[in-house]
Amino acid sequence: SSEDEQEDENVGSKMPHFNHTPSPYNGPSASDLSKRRKLYLPTAVGPYYINPLNLVEGKMQYLYDENGRRYLDAFGGIATVSCGHCHPDVVEATVKQMRLLQHTTVLYLNHSVVDFAEALAAKFPGDLKAVFFTNSGTEANELALLIARLYTSCHDIISIRNGYHGNATSTMGATAQNFHKFNVVQSGVHHALNPDPYRGVFGSDGVKYANDVQDIIDYGTCGRVAGFIAESIQGVGGVIELAPGYLPAVHSIIKKAGGLFIADEVQTGFGRIGSHFWGFEAHGIVPDIVTLAKGIGNGTPIGAVVTTPQIAEVLTRRTYFSTFGGNLVCAAAGHAVLRVIEKEKLEQNAFVVGSYLKECLSSLMNKHEIIGDVRGRGMLLGVELVKDQKLKIPAKAEMLHIMEKMKVGKGGFYGNVLRITPPLCFTKEDADFLVDVMDYTMSKM
């Protein structure tokens, strides 16, 4: 929410003090941009913000509009801004690289990309040491699925209903969501029951949901599969924490069927969940392939696939190539992100502030019937809005209004889940302010 708006409406607490003066802005207005965006960027105008802000500057967890008005960013650029907007260390590393050399190709040597790959590999357990850089999460998942199919000489992939894995052919096939009906026909892709403790048929019994994966293998395949792909917390799907016991049980089922376990860490990685650096670590498993994007570059377009040298061989003995994958500027940014997360203890901050925020949001459930569920970990939190806490009927119309006020994202099968994914530098004072805005907005409805 914005500072001025909050003062006008007397929300109850003040937006935390922040010492930054935004630069003067002389560019086009929000209404002018809105009109032109409709003409030239039509796909950007989806059923999202009713009055999108014209954002011209960002500093850490704050954004500034054309009039210099400050907003607390509780969406973090769709969970991409891990260290904070324009973090000075990331800017410095990026600009330095940009001045030296922007781009060559991975066919030549350059220390930026090798240094980053080495630092990234050090964050993984076991043999997960072979890194391929991509430009996005979609490409990372496309590559992971390709590797699994090549390595196993199998075609069948299992993913979970309501998961989101990207917008290219294989990843759209693996994605099983309501809003994502692009009529992509993918042979050999199976969508397993969603182990969703809030709405799923087996509640929190992870092992019962895992049996469905075994059934898919038994009834729908030759008994062997290429792999399984899942997010450890479904992000776009509405911040759904998978039922306890599910991932370890599926891991052993997939291994028995000869498949590779792919952990999609595009949203859950880089310390966002607070308790662990990677989401899979919270489930006590070690995947065969891990995919990354979003928070890896603090906003620069970079993704990665990390796997074992043995599995990576299926690509290294072929000619596999991406023009911008491993771009030097993005690699410099990514490496700086790793250093900042460590230096500023952002993973620990995500845990402490995220747990506090979750507790505060949960306490509002007693006051506001519209809050059906509060879930997630660290700085990956979701608030599901319902018409009635017992019947769980999705509150879709109310959602748009609250989302707009809180500057958060939208998710879930019914589009009724507030997604709270701020930069990891979010403070307790920011959390208090966000909760006040939510409380105030809901009280006025």
User: Where do contacts with ligand PLP occur on this chain (CB under 6 A)?
Assistant: 136-138, 141, 164-166, 231, 235-236, 264, 266-267, 293
- Could you tell me the smallest distance in angstroms from the CB atom of residue 278 to ligand PLP? 13
Residue with tokens 């935390």: 16
Please enumerate in sequence order all residues whose Cβ is within 8 A of that of 358, keeping only pairs 6 or more positions apart, or say none: 374, 376, 377, 381
* 407 close to 74: Cβ distance less than 8 angstroms: yes
> In whole angstroms, what is the distance from residue 345 CA to residue 247 CA?
28
Residue 100 phi/psi, 5° resolution? Answer: -80, -55
Residue nearest to ligand PLP (CB): 137
Looking at 15-110, list the stretches that DSSP marks H as alpha helix, in order from N- to C-terminal side. 30-40, 76-79, 88-100
Q: Which residues of 277-302 are buried (b: 16+ CB within 10 A; e: fewer)?
A: bbbbbbbebbbbbbbbbbbbbbbbbb
User: What one-letter code names the amino acid at 302?
Assistant: I
- Could you tell me the smallest distance in angstroms from the CB atom of residue 287 to ligand PLP? 14
Residue with tokens 């001045």: 99
Looking at 281-427, list the stretches that DSSP marks H as alpha helix, in order from N- to C-terminal side. 309-316, 328-343, 346-363, 396-406
Whichever of 386 and 420 has its CB closer to ligand PLP, that residue is: 420
Assigned token pair, 30: 């929000």
> In whole angstroms, what is the distance from residue 215 CA to residue 18 CA?
55
Q: Which of 266, 262, 314 is nearest to 290 (CA)?
A: 262
User: Is 435 in a helix, a strand, or coil?
Assistant: helix
Q: Which long-range contacts (CB under 8 A, 24 or more apart) does 364-370 make?
A: 364/435, 364/438, 364/439, 364/442, 365/389, 367/439, 367/442, 368/439, 368/442, 368/443, 370/395, 370/398, 370/442, 370/445
Whichever of 70 and 294 has its CB closer to ligand PLP, that residue is: 294
User: What one-letter code names the amino acid at 203?
Assistant: G
- Could you tell me the smallest distance in angstroms from the CB atom of residue 201 to ligand PLP? 23
Share in percent of the chain as helix, strand, coil (round to 5): 40, 15, 45
Q: Which long-range contacts (CB under 8 A, 24 or more apart) does 204-212 make?
A: 204/243, 204/244, 205/243, 205/245, 206/242, 206/243, 206/244, 206/245, 206/246, 206/247, 206/249, 207/245, 207/246, 207/249, 209/243, 209/246, 210/245, 210/246, 210/249, 210/250, 210/253
Residue 313 burial (C-beta neighbours within 10 Å; 0-12, 13-18, 19+) = middle
